[in-house]
Structure 1
Amino acid sequence: MHAIPAQLWDALACPEAATGRPADPFTTHRFLSALERSGSTGRGTGWQARPLTVTRQGQIIAAMPLYVKSHSQGEYIFDHGWAEAYERAGGRYYPKLQVAVPFTPVTGRRFLTLPGDEAQGRAALIDGATRIAEQNGLSSLHITFCTEAEAEAGRAQGLMHRVSQQFHWQNDGYASYEDFLGTMASRKRKALRKERETANSHGLTIRALTGTEIEPAHWQAFWAFYQDTGNRKWGTPYLTRGFFNALHDTMRDDVLLVLAFDGAQAVAGALNFIGRDCLYGRYWGCLADYPCLHFELCYHRAIDYAIAHGLARVEAGAQGEHKLARGYLPVETHSLHWIADPGFARAVAQYLAAERAAVDEEIEVLTGYGPFRRGPLQSAQQD
């Protein structure tokens, strides 16, 4: 990323930032270069940055955050099964090409273009990336957590379209958290009130910090939380300590850090990123067991912030059906894929068709189990 001037990259990634925040901060030059400078991506990580650009008459008109991958970790739309099947058949799945924001399961633009050059830039990027894969004998190209519009355009150019799902909270113009609870069945409201009472009964002080309110000591505390969670979930944390230093230096205004203190000591925390109309929950950690504190810091406080600041939604990351009871409903996420081997490509296409039907059914079923009132009869039954 250091080979591309930040101003040129951001003119493609977030032209809307000229009048405020970017739609999301994850494809900005400052975020991607922080990953690189901190050693979270690069040599030895399995994420080798090779940003792809398209120029016209000497001007960059399009780009994508492209990586050469030697594994499938840190992607959240997983293809481990594809890799195992291809290698059992005698193929070599890695290295592969990945268009993504590393370690970040957040939907956003992956085809970054100057306004007005969307169609031409997107077509050139797809053509360029697939040609690079072919010329280098790579198995595949994957474009993960792209927008739905990008998925439709990519499918029209011959890429395979995959649908997955996450849980997001939608702000329907709520004036307060209590206003939001008013949309739920009575027993669901009572359960969440009790949950928040429990989380706030431990004698801790909870603070939501952003910008200059965040101090180096807060990052040191959060690093301990992140390491603990990372060691338990992934075996090895993806991000280095230097990444959080880079956040402090260049991205504090993009961050909401929710910390719980026992006296002067921070004992738990949740890291969020602030977009133009969305709050993105990313990491959580805790040094001791405090019942319900995870839900409070990660989900309820995120909703509080979104309501107070007029944000349209909260995206709370990958997985987690436990989010459903807290008002986070399932939504589709999208990715695009290109497979070099024609036979393997046919098998993957068949798999994706079956998976799509299963995802559609799961979203419908899970939505029905949501905590919200559906109508007079159902509301009476739930109450």
Structure 2
Amino acid sequence: MNSLTPKENNIHSQILGSINEIDQNQWDACTCLASALYNPFISYGFLSALETSRSAHKDNGWQPAHIIIQDDNQNLLACSPVYIKYHSYGEYVFDWAWAEAYQRLGEAYYPKLQCCVPFSPVTGPRLLTRDNLPENEKSRLRQVLARMLIEFAQKYKMSSVHVTFPCKPDLKILDETGFMIRHGLQFHWRNQNYKCFDDWLNTLSSRKRKNIKKEREKAYQSGVEIHTLIGSDIKKEHWDSFYQFYQLTVDQKWGQAYLKRSFFDYLSDAIPDDIVLILGKEKNMWVCGALNLLGGNTLFGRNWGSVVEYPMLHFEICYYRAIEIAIERQLDYVEAGAQGVHKISRGYLPTTTYSAHWIEDKKFETAIRKYLSIERESISKDKAQFNIISPYKKVYNKK
């Protein structure tokens, strides 16, 4: 399993069993590294940390099979982070019911093909192209990648292809290629050129503004000292403590610890300046923390955990400190992860997320299309209702 045949002249494709099979500089040349569009989750460093730590590995159902496109001189032109999946864990777009329906029909849903960032419900590019190419060439190569995903699944007799949390330019191409589009909801904070936290607070209704001030005061009353660590400030002791918090959160949710302890060491070595670790200390011991990653224009909140229970401490570290960092760094957005209607009253508003799906079985595809149409309408109604309870003053709701 090492090549596909694109129907294009002067380009050549390959399937990589590991991202470590390609030069880091070539992969990162496709990630908008120096622009506001940079997304750390698709960086070589992040993906390599997942694989090297064996967090994303065939043994746990994530077999790397990245697609790359090169020119005659072996220069990387385009690529996609791709995995052969043997289950549906760690994706945050749920298709378990589809798998069960396949099984009832006596067909195999797994393996399937997944184009995504493992364990990360973060919107970003999935059909990556070299940054310095002309826009029309980028579009052409994205179309080639979209077709190659389908060809990959067909060639190796997989049931389906799933591209989760793609950006809108990729979504458009996937739609035109025949993928079914699915909608989801997350809750994101948007920076309106605020100068400070109080500047943002003043855009909220009086009641919501008072509630947030009370929540922050309760968090302070816990006596937990909050520290924001970035880059080289983050040491092994911090990761040891944070991993303890991460595991505790997983245990409390009856989940599975997807990320190995070594992942955080590899990540810290690979993209140190993209990491923002917010930790709480009590009596000289680290007791809670939240992991964030810095993008070009977005702060991405990922994991939270705590060995103490204090009112509002979670909201302070995960939401309000994130807003403060975004304002300080003049970032446009904070994405606070999956789910969480409770985020609305803290200023995080409903935002549509997307996924794209191709199904080999056409009868099954027809049924899925009908289901997705109904689901999209339901999500649209939910989003409208959530916007009604926005904490912002009416004048700001219209922006």
Q: For 1:244, what is the secondary structure of its paired residue?
A: helix
Corresponding residue for 2:108?
A: 92
Over residues 91-143 of structure 1, what are the superposed CA-to-partner deviations in whole Å (9 max), with x where a residue is unaligned?
A: 11011000000000000000001232322211211221111111211100000
Q: Note the residue ranges of structure 1 that are not aligned, 5 or more in a row.
A: 379-383
1:293-336 deviations in whole A, cap 9, x for unaligned? 00000000000100111000100000000101100000111111
3-state SS, counterpart of residue 316 of structure 1: strand
- The structure 2 residue matched to 1:333, chosen from 345, 348, 353, is 353
Q: Report the counterpart of residue 312 of structure 1 in structure 2.
A: 332
Assess if the C-alpha contact under 8 Å between 1:20 and 1:276 holds in 2: yes
What TM-score comes out, normalization by structure 2 length?
A: 0.91
Q: Which residue of 2 is the match for residue 381 of structure 1?
A: none
AA matched with 2:40: P
CA distance in 2, matches of 1:44, 1:231: 21
Q: Which position in structure 1 is the counterpart of 2:289? A: 269
- Secondary structure of the residue aligned to 1:200 is helix
- Give ranges in structure 2 of 5+ residues lacking alignment: 1-18
Equivalent of 1:11 in 11, 15, 29: 29
Q: Choose from 77, 84, 98 the match for 1:82.
A: 98
The answer to whether residue 359 in structure 2 is matched with residue 344 in structure 1 is no
Q: 2:157 aligns with which of 137, 151, 155?
A: 137
Write the distance in 1 (CA, Å) between the matches of 2:35 and 2:227: 25
Give the aligned partner of residue 360 of structure 1: 380
1:8-34 CA distances to partner (integer Å, 9 max, x unpaired)? 11111x2x32x4676110111111010
The separation in 2 between residues aligned to 1:93 and 1:173, in whole angstroms, is: 47
CA contact (8 A) 1:270 1:285 kept: yes
Whole-angstrom distance in 1 between the partners of 2:394 and 2:256? 43
**2:39 maps to which of 24, 27, 30:** 24
Q: Structure 1 20/352 Cα, relative in aligned 2: closer, same or farther at 3 Å?
A: closer
Which amino acid is 1:297 matched to? Answer: I
Q: Give distance in 1, aligned partners of 2:190 and 2:57.
A: 36
Could you report, residue by residue, the CA deviation over 1:53-99 in whole angstroms, capped at 9, with x for unpaired residues? Answer: 12232432111000000011111111111111121122110110000
Please list every run of at least 4 consecutive aligned residues from structure 1 whose deviation after the TM superposition is greater than 6 angstroms.
none
8 Å Cα contact 1:211-1:253 kept in structure 2: yes
For these two proteins, the number of residue pairs brought into alignment is 374
SS of the equivalent of 2:366 reads helix
Look up the SS of the partner of 1:146 in the other structure. coil
Normalised by the length of structure 1, the TM-score is: 0.95
The alpha-carbon deviation at position 375 of structure 1 amounts to 4.9
Counterpart of 1:2 (choices 11, 20, 33) is: 20
Q: Quick one: distance in 1 between partners of 2:391 and 2:291?
A: 26
Residues 342 and 180 of structure 1: CA distance in aligned 2, closer, same or farther (over 3 Å) = same
2:63 maps to which of 26, 34, 48: 48
Letter in 1 for 2:245: F
Aligned partners of 1:22 and 1:214: how far apart in 2?
Answer: 25
Q: Indicate the RMSD between aligned Cα atoms, in angstroms.
A: 1.5
The answer to whether the aligner puts 1:203 opposite 2:223 as a matched pair is yes
> Does structure 1 retain, via aligned residues, the 8 Å contact 2:146–2:173?
no
